[in-house]
């Protein structure tokens, strides 16, 4: 008898999942124009990290229209709560049976747009060049779908619209404000230019890198540009440090250890005919493994110090900041995400991607609760959607946005039904 009851319950759950998927597909198709319109609005009105005031207000208006309650724990960004109405969604004490956090980041970059699209940025020098406008639109689309089928939610969805991802502060700020309290799992998606449009990658394990920032200060001796023998050129020393830092990856780390050392800034000098007495350089380090991550500060300091000394100057690693850790997808969450892709979009939508040494502060969430970050592919040469994230020419294939919204909705239904 017990076996029969268990089998009946399993069959009922499977039927419920099938019905929920059909509803997601139907509601998703109806929501596609809405999702695209939202993406274009936010693309036209980008705001930098911690300045997302208008963006937050626009999101709030959409949530008000959906009658979804929300809170504003920070100056920008907000947290919405979508309560399930399935019979077992809440316990007798009022707590949800399960709670899933879904996240969309909302900030833009200091990039001057050159795409030429009709809905290009209206704010000079600011652009959604990393797809966060798409993330907002996809999450609003998922909420729009789920708000019409709360009877399929056996728990609660906590939707976080997070500020300040680009400078690595937002996730920690939201976590400190309590967004992970009572959370059982987490889901996020990132539009990605290296994954083909129509496919979504959600493999388990490391997906994005540890992200660190560093600064090296160089001190030489200034003198007249016509008398270089009288001084020690800080610019020459800094330039040699830039070159020699590249040997960390090629000579200090195993070939099996993915890593990047990038110097993005080099400043020095005060006049064209003066040997510079000071210079400084700043950069970023990306690694996957703990071993490489821990070794980097000492390696950079050693190379900077000894390279400068060889040229009669001095150098010091004056700042080394760990911005955030690597994004590591939980194995069970990744498997659940793959099943959700197959259900709502079909097996052909399951993508394959090796991962990237780009960084993402959703890692701070995944360090604390099991979850998954999915890469929603947007690469489509026919539409010019081939440029990398952070490019002033960055474009997306907007047909993928509703797919991302539908996947988020399916993942939420599946997670809360477990």
The verdict on whether residue 45 carries a ligand-binding annotation is no
| Coil/strand/helix, residue 130 | coil
∠ CA 36-134-322, nearest 5°, is 175
Distance CA 332, CA 395 (A): 32
The verdict on whether residue 390 carries a ligand-binding annotation is yes
| Phi, psi for 100 (deg, rounded to 5) | -110, 130
By 3-state DSSP, what share of the chain in percent is helix, strand and coil, each rounded to 5? 40, 25, 35
Distance CA 335, CA 318 (A): 43
Distance CA 70, CA 67 (A): 9
Contact 104, 171 (CB under 8 A): no
Distance CA 78, CA 241 (A): 43
Cβ contacts of residue 52 below 8 Å, gap of 6+? 76, 77, 106, 107, 163, 164
Supply 205's token pair.
């394990």
Q: Which helix (H) or strand (E) holds 349?
A: none
Distance CA 157, CA 138 (A): 15
Quickly list DSSP for 85-104: -STTSB-TTS-BS-EEEEEE
The alpha carbon dihedral of 240, 242, 248, 251 has a sign of negative
Other C-beta atoms closer than 10 Å to the C-beta of 312 total 13
DSSP class of residue 232 equals: B
The verdict on whether residue 166 carries a ligand-binding annotation is yes
Name which of 119, 117, 107, 128 is nearest 56 in CA terms.
107
Distance CA 229, CA 169 (A): 46
The verdict on whether residue 132 carries a ligand-binding annotation is yes
Cβ contacts of residue 321 below 8 Å, gap of 6+? 212, 213, 214
Residues making up the binding site: 130, 132, 166, 190, 390
Binding annotation for Mn(2+):
130, 132, 166, 190, 390
């Amino acid at each position: 008898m017990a076996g029969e009851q268990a089998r009946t319950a399993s069959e009922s759950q499977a039927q419920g999942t099938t019905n929920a998927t059909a509803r997601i597909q139907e509601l998703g198709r109806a929501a596609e124009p809405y999702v695209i319109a939202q993406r274009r609005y936010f693309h036209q009105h980008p705001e930098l990290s911690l300045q997302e005031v208008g963006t937050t207000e626009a999101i709030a208006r959409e949530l008000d229209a959906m009658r979804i309650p929300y809170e504003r724990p920070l100056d920008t960004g907000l947290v919405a709560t979508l309560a399930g109405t399935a019979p077992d969604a809440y316990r007798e004490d009022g707590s949800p049976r399960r709670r899933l956090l879904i996240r969309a980041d909302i900030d833009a970059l200091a990039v001057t747009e050159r795409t030429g699209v009709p809905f290009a940025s209206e704010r000079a020098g600011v652009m959604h060049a990393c797809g966060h406008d798409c993330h907002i639109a996809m999450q609003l689309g998922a909420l729009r779908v789920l708000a019409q089928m709360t009877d399929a939610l056996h728990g609660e969805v906590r939707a976080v619209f997070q500020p300040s991802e680009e400078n690595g502060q937002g996730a920690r700020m939201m976590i400190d404000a309590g967004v992970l309290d009572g959370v059982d799992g987490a889901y996020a998606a990132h539009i990605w230019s290296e994954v083909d449009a129509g496919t979504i990658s959600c493999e388990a394990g490391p997906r994005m890198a540890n992200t660190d920032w560093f600064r090296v200060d160089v001190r030489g001796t200034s003198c007249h540009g016509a008398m270089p023998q009288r001084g020690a050129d800080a610019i020459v020393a800094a330039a040699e440090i830039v070159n020699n830092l590249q040997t960390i990856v090629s000579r200090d780390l195993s070939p099996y250890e993915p890593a990047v050392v990038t110097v993005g800034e080099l400043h020095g000098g005060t006049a064209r005919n003066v040997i510079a007495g000071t210079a400084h350089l700043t950069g970023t380090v990306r690694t996957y493994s703990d071993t490489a991550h821990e070794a980097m500060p000492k390696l950079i300091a050693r190379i900077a110090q000894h390279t400068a000394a060889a040229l009669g100057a001095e150098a010091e690693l004056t700042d080394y900041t760990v911005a955030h850790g690597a994004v590591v997808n939980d194995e069970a969450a990744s498997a659940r995400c793959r099943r959700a892709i197959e259900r709502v979009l079909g097996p052909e939508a399951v993508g394959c991607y090796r991962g990237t040494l780009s960084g993402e502060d959703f890692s701070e969430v995944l360090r604390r609760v099991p979850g998954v970050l999915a890469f929603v592919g947007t690469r489509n040469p026919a539409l010019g959607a081939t440029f990398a994230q952070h490019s002033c020419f960055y474009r997306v294939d907007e047909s993928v946005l509703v797919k991302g919204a539908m996947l988020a909705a399916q993942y939420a239904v599946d997670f809360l039904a477990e």
